[in-house]
Chains A and B, each alone.
Chain A
């Protein structure tokens, strides 16, 4: 059920810039790890490489001991890993239900044509992230930021992941909305989902993670329990230096 993620010596160069510099870490099945670091540290770039949106310059990415570096994004999703985005960009001219429908669609042209949508499953997913039934027909432009994040979670969940990468899930949310999302993540953790979470809101992040990894300027600078990492000198220096 739960997936294991292993990153080995990951390097990504953009021209002369090294965005990821020899990073290695492992997320055990069912574990939840917080990925922290100042702005521009290279957190989102790591997500992009795990998902195959950017190809790493060198290094390995493994899901359940299988190398996925050569797979396309949809194939990686099939392998069990999905992500959300810092800025939710839903399909703007489609209703909430249709947005979720895209996530539920099988990657086969033939099945897309021959098999109709599953409205019950769409509703189920919407409700599982806390969206109400009457919101299904709304357009994304009519939703609050919190609801947009919920929609993004629902669409990601629709791909049936065993591991989720959450990118800045709390950005732009009210205190109440943060609580709702937290509860949602907690309940998924209880169900055995593996998580890698990026967040600037360290207070909200803390209760959701088992361990933390800190990176700065593309390099891993600390890993271990959340409190150990936060107490680390290099980590503190990187935050102070950047902000």
Chain B
């Protein structure tokens, strides 16, 4: 029981970190960034290259992953999202193509086979039969720290409030003097950074492989849909629902069915309550 609780908390913390960057884009820019998973892919491989292959310090590897993710976010906004001018279908499709493109770039550079990331902090602690690798614990704690600072940032800084304003009503925000383009670009950069850092943790939790962008994308989608858009707290709560659902399914039903309930949750929520569990009711 305690074992399930521990595993659930570790996994959910990671899921929250994965989903939050996606939530930001979906609520501020109102677009579905299907290439979101690619930030995790690129982040993970960047860390692998710098820290594990070149032997740079681990912190530098994480920082470089963040920087590259940030640059990727800005590029994506400037080269794809802006030229398509809010054409949602076109953005969805071009980000999907971009994700496949980045996947093949990774295959080209690093090859097709899985890579193992060394634990960021080696060591394991055993509590009530559950193994707690320090690396995973660190990932969960880091993800909480990042989420709380993000929450504080959105609530208490000028930039954060501007982001909230744009997310609620882009036109209204423009009238009150907020430069929506600038806010959008900032959000894309932030989302890219968060995604890439999440990628390092995700890969150290699991593994690095070129197809690793799909699973976190689905998790992010699930969290955003179930939680409703625009809420960091909602993201956190639903990440725990999804995380615990997976752990409970693997532990008590069958490990193969692990993702099934997440999918069912997405479908049921979307059909039954399209605005999500914690979303605002739209006029």
Contacts and interface: CB of A to CB of B under 8 A. Distances in A.
Q: Answer yes or no: A and B touching, Cβ < 8 Å.
A: yes
Interface of A: 14-15
Contacts of A15: 281, 283
A14 B283 CA distance: 7
B195 to A, nearest CB: 34
Nearest to A19: B283
A14 B280 CA distance: 12
A92 B7 CA distance: 54
A46 to B, nearest CB: 16
Contacts of B283: 14-15
Contacts of A14: 281, 283
A174 B281 CA distance: 39
B165 to A, nearest CB: 20
Question: What is the interface residue range for chain B against chain A?
Answer: under 10
4 contacts: A14-B281, A14-B283, A15-B281, A15-B283
A15 B283 CA distance: 8
Contacts of B281: 14-15
Nearest to A14: B283
A123 to B, nearest CB: 34
The 4 A-B pairs with the shortest beta carbon distances in the complex, nearest first, are A14-B283, A15-B281, A15-B283, A14-B281
A15 B281 CA distance: 8
Nearest to B281: A15
Interface in B241-283: 281, 283
B48 to A, nearest CB: 47
A110 B281 CA distance: 38
A40 to B, nearest CB: 12
A14 B281 CA distance: 9
B278 to A, nearest CB: 15
Nearest to B280: A15
Interface in B82-130: none
B53 to A, nearest CB: 51
A60 B281 CA distance: 25
Interface in B122-150: none
B168 to A, nearest CB: 14
A15 B279 CA distance: 13
A182 to B, nearest CB: 33
A54 to B, nearest CB: 10
B87 to A, nearest CB: 13
B250 to A, nearest CB: 40
A14 B282 CA distance: 9
A213 to B, nearest CB: 24
A39 to B, nearest CB: 16
Interface string B63-88: 00000000000000000000000000
Nearest to A17: B283
A222 B281 CA distance: 32
A18 to B, nearest CB: 13
A16 to B, nearest CB: 10
A48 to B, nearest CB: 12
B265 to A, nearest CB: 25
B107 to A, nearest CB: 39
B232 to A, nearest CB: 22
